[in-house]
Structure 1
Amino acid sequence: MDGPAQRTLLITLTGRDRPGVTSRLFRTLAEFPLTVADVEQVVIRGRLVLGVLLTYIEGADIGRVWNAAEKVASDLDMEIELSTGREKRLPRRRGRLHVTVLGNPLMPAAMSGIASRIAANGANIDRIERLASTPVTCIEMDVSGADPDALRAGLAAEAAERRVDIAVQHGGLHRRAKRLIVMDVDSTLIRGEVIELLAEHAGCLDEVAKVTEAAMRGDLDFEGSLRERVALLAGLDASAIDDVRDRLQLAAGARTMVRTLKRLDYEFAIVSGGFTQVTDALVEDLGIDYSAANTLEIEDGKLTGRVTGPVIDRAGKAAALERFAREAGVPLSQTVAIGDGANDLDMLQVAGLGVAYNAKPVVRQAADTAVNFPYLDTILFLLGISREEIEAADAADPQGSDPVEPPATK
């Protein structure tokens, strides 16, 4: 036999945010035979919106609750809305997804298009939160009831049309679990390509740059193209490597990104088709946990035009990611790979989340998501890390934070 019917009461308080609003409301509600079914709270520019969904047995004197809640609102000088209804058993919805939107600027038309795509997918936006306002505006939505693949495809088209970046990821505890970040080096962690800086010393920059571009597009086999380019460096004095190391520039936001992740107990790795003579210095400077790269052969103080050992190519990068994950004790589902060229494709596909960073078209199409802004630390927002958490890391180590730079032109 069914028990007494359940009814619901929705209380929404709106007004100036201040300490104690939530505790005052619940202290009052505690005097009545009510059950809390749901609570949501958001603060926008100092204005609080607090919603509390309660259940009660039909026939209860809900008028007393109504009067008590209105008195709380009056005492706090806030607006209140109250509505009652019958408790409904809703059909079980598909799992929750995180939709992250990056824009600079982020226009209302973009948000309208994104919301329309979500609705057309038969999904519901359960929560919207701003994660950052600088260096880009980042909005994160919790979405339920959507087919991930269909929603990702629809939002990818919207992102291209609106010139924003959109990532769709599964929700759940794994998003905040320990993760391993594995990043490409050339044109990702650092600006430019090391082999081109060396080629500049050797007087063969144009020839090397042409081969590099074709390899990054996927037009050439990476190992063959690497050996071809390194052969052009034969006879170059090894002191040129020291000069290249001194001239290296980290990508904007790189130092902040690494330091923030380390502070939040993430493991960090780099894997490069470049050279250990350069990446070793980055490992020491940034406190990186794992690294893999090729090694230039040097004899009598000069480059021989060869590399020693197996080449770290497309397959080698994926194998390195898997090895780092084993050593860190992190499942592949909790790894994040970041890269820009065709030789990063395998590791982007092996990782739990593959991020194409200012990447070639073939890479953007294959990755789980793409970031096209010139700030490496914007990738932190995809992991649910807010600007406030990043600034807390900066405050803990102000000497290590990145200098403020003017926005780059897209």
Structure 2
Amino acid sequence: MSQSPGADERPKTLLITLTGKDRPGVTSAVFSTLARFGVEVIDIEQIVLRRRLVLGLLVSTPHEWKPLRDAIEKVADDLGMNVEVERGAGDNKPRPVGRSHVTVLGTPLRSAAVAAIAGRIADIGANIDRIERMARYPVTAINLHVSGAAPEKLRAILAEEASHQNVDVAVQSADLLRRGMRLIVMDVDSTLIQGEVIEMLAAHAGCEPEVARVTEAAMRGDLDFTESLTARVALLEGLDAGALDLVYDALVLAPGARTTIRTLKRLGYRFAIVSGGFSQITDRLAADLGIDYAAANELEIVDGKLTGKVIGEVVDRAGKAKALRRFAAASGITEGATIAIGDGANDLDMLSAAGLGIAFNAKPLVQKAAHTSVNVPYLDTVMYLLGISREEIEAADAAAGIVTPAPPLV
């Protein structure tokens, strides 16, 4: 005759949750106690937040589970911590299919925005399995491990909510490819550097306002890029080639650009710059920054003067995507293992061709088309999307003797 499970029936698992002030030896004390009972560790999570520890353990159950519970409670009491022991909690089943990394960036990141993002995730039946902080300055970045929804569905829903909350949200599939990307392809003007080179040249030629108007229309996608480039370069006819040196000396990199290149180079990444600007500038940038590949238009110079023409095939919207594929092949990787970063309409094909296309402070048209958008001025936030934390970046710099300014105390 079968009997219904009673209150004292041995559960298959025990979930032990310990919380309190962190100190050395807490984890050791807990596991030393568990060792006396010969249990199997099935799952474990531990975090420390502002010196407060949360330790979660899923363990198998010995024949007599109550002595284990009593021993763990005594350890917690001795440590001045709180503990809960839950019987039969969880069976360590695999998480639901459809796993994503959702990175949220805010300056500041307000609780209302996090609540809204979490709510939309719950609305489609997905679950947040884990949350970790990637950075606390100059932006706050958190990474959510989400299961139970296709990344494409998450991306569409969260992009809309991110716009409402004035934060950036990036959704990536949680697969090995995210860890294996090894080529970063960047636009130059208003991405790697601040401002537009052609407008800086136009300032020396006395036609900056006219060139700026055409540039803005081209970046919005209102004008064909090749036609706009031809028209703008024509206005530079007769400009002394020495202006190129003056412009190069005046370039200002995007905040975090050097940190991004330096850090990812340590990890074996390669870099390319692909620009609708001019090789006389981009080739020097590539050499100075240690960038592996570069593609741009070449200004024609005769007798030390710009002729108002470019030489060879124009690097336009299609040309940027073509260059990405060429550089990926040269690096021995697939297009899916590339990351493209850009801001203008002429970057759209390149962003689409990449495994991850990032719209960086981009025009609305580009933000809608890209895989994800970043709307803060710090290029190194891209590394948070790759699972690299600010603490890891600074530790690597410190080991190399590079001093990082102290963060604000918050």
The verdict on a shared fold, with TM-score over 0.5 as the criterion, is yes
Gaps of 5+ in 1: none
Measured after TM superposition, the shift of residue 149 of structure 1 is 2.1
Distance in 2 between the 1:349 and 1:104 partners?
28
Report what 2:196 is aligned to.
193
Measured after TM superposition, the shift of residue 27 of structure 1 is 2.5
Write out aligned runs for 1:188-227 (5 A): 188-227=191-230
Alpha carbons 1:12, 1:49 under 8 Å: kept: yes
Measured after TM superposition, the shift of residue 152 of structure 1 is 1.3
**If the length of structure 2 is used for normalisation, what is the TM-score?**
0.93
Alignment partner of 1:355: what SS?
Answer: strand
Report what 1:255 is aligned to.
258
Report what 1:113 is aligned to.
116
Report what 2:88 is aligned to.
85
Distance in 2 between the 1:87 and 1:400 partners?
46
Alpha carbons 1:7, 1:56 under 8 Å: kept: yes
Equivalent residues, number: 400
Q: Of 277, 282, 289, which aligns to 2:280? A: 277
Is the aligned partner of 1:354 residue 2:357?
yes
Q: Of 148, 155, 158, which aligns to 2:158? A: 155
Report what 1:32 is aligned to.
37
Write out aligned runs for 1:66-145 (5 A): 66-85=69-88, 88=91, 93-145=96-148
Measured after TM superposition, the shift of residue 218 of structure 1 is 0.7
Measured after TM superposition, the shift of residue 190 of structure 1 is 0.4
**If the length of structure 1 is used for normalisation, what is the TM-score?**
0.93
Q: Of 244, 256, 259, which aligns to 2:247? A: 244
Q: Of 48, 51, 60, which aligns to 1:43? A: 48
Write out aligned runs for 1:9-28 (5 A): 9-28=14-33
Q: Of 8, 31, 46, which aligns to 2:13? A: 8
| Root mean square deviation, CA, Å | 2.1
Distance in 1 between the 2:29 and 2:318 partners?
59
Residue 75 of structure 1 aligns to which amino acid in structure 2?
D
Measured after TM superposition, the shift of residue 88 of structure 1 is 4.8
Q: 1:180 to 1:372 in 2, by over 3 A?
A: same
Alignment partner of 2:315: what SS?
Answer: coil
Measured after TM superposition, the shift of residue 55 of structure 1 is 2.4
Distance in 1 between the 2:90 and 2:101 partners?
27
Alpha carbons 1:32, 1:65 under 8 Å: kept: yes
Alignment partner of 1:110: what SS?
Answer: helix
Alignment partner of 2:321: what SS?
Answer: helix
Measured after TM superposition, the shift of residue 74 of structure 1 is 2.5
Distance in 2 between the 1:217 and 1:189 partners?
19
* Aligned residues with identical type, % of pairs: 64
Alignment partner of 1:220: what SS?
Answer: coil
**Which digits, 9 at most, give the CA deviation of each residue in 1:159-214, with x for residues without a partner?**
11110000111113322224211100001000111011111111111211111111
**Which digits, 9 at most, give the CA deviation of each residue in 1:35-82, with x for residues without a partner?**
22211111100111000011237xx10012112212221232221111
Alignment partner of 1:40: what SS?
Answer: strand
Alignment partner of 1:337: what SS?
Answer: strand
Alignment partner of 1:359: what SS?
Answer: coil
Q: 1:83 to 1:313 in 2, by over 3 A?
A: same
Alignment partner of 2:336: what SS?
Answer: helix
Is the aligned partner of 1:183 residue 2:186?
yes
Residue 34 of structure 2 aligns to which amino acid in structure 1?
L
Measured after TM superposition, the shift of residue 91 of structure 1 is 7.9
Is the aligned partner of 1:171 residue 2:169?
no
Q: 1:396 to 1:229 in 2, by over 3 A?
A: farther
Alignment partner of 1:72: what SS?
Answer: helix
Residue 31 of structure 2 aligns to which amino acid in structure 1?
F
Residue 311 of structure 1 aligns to which amino acid in structure 2?
V
Report what 2:309 is aligned to.
306
Q: 1:91 to 1:245 in 2, by over 3 A?
A: closer
Q: 1:197 to 1:92 in 2, by over 3 A?
A: closer
Measured after TM superposition, the shift of residue 268 of structure 1 is 1.2
Is the aligned partner of 1:338 residue 2:341?
yes
Alignment partner of 1:216: what SS?
Answer: helix
Deviates more, 1:4-13 or 1:295-304: 4-13
Report what 1:266 is aligned to.
269
Deviates more, 1:391-400 or 1:206-215: 391-400
Q: 1:400 to 1:191 in 2, by over 3 A?
A: farther
Residue 25 of structure 2 aligns to which amino acid in structure 1?
G
Measured after TM superposition, the shift of residue 5 of structure 1 is 8.6
Alignment partner of 2:191: what SS?
Answer: coil
Alpha carbons 2:185, 2:324 under 8 Å: kept: yes
Alignment partner of 2:12: what SS?
Answer: strand
Distance in 1 between the 2:29 and 2:95 partners?
33
Gaps of 5+ in 2: 1-8
Alpha carbons 2:351, 2:358 under 8 Å: kept: yes
Deviates more, 1:177-186 or 1:84-93: 84-93
Deviates more, 1:172-181 or 1:336-345: 172-181
Distance in 2 between the 1:398 and 1:280 partners?
28
Distance in 2 between the 1:5 and 1:85 partners?
9
Distance in 2 between the 1:89 and 1:248 partners?
55
Alpha carbons 2:99, 2:151 under 8 Å: kept: no
Alignment partner of 1:280: what SS?
Answer: helix
Distance in 1 between the 2:197 and 2:39 partners?
66
**Which digits, 9 at most, give the CA deviation of each residue in 1:324-356, with x for residues without a partner?**
111112222221100000000001001010000
Residue 171 of structure 1 aligns to which amino acid in structure 2?
A
Measured after TM superposition, the shift of residue 399 of structure 1 is 5.8
Residue 215 of structure 1 aligns to which amino acid in structure 2?
A
Alignment partner of 2:252: what SS?
Answer: coil
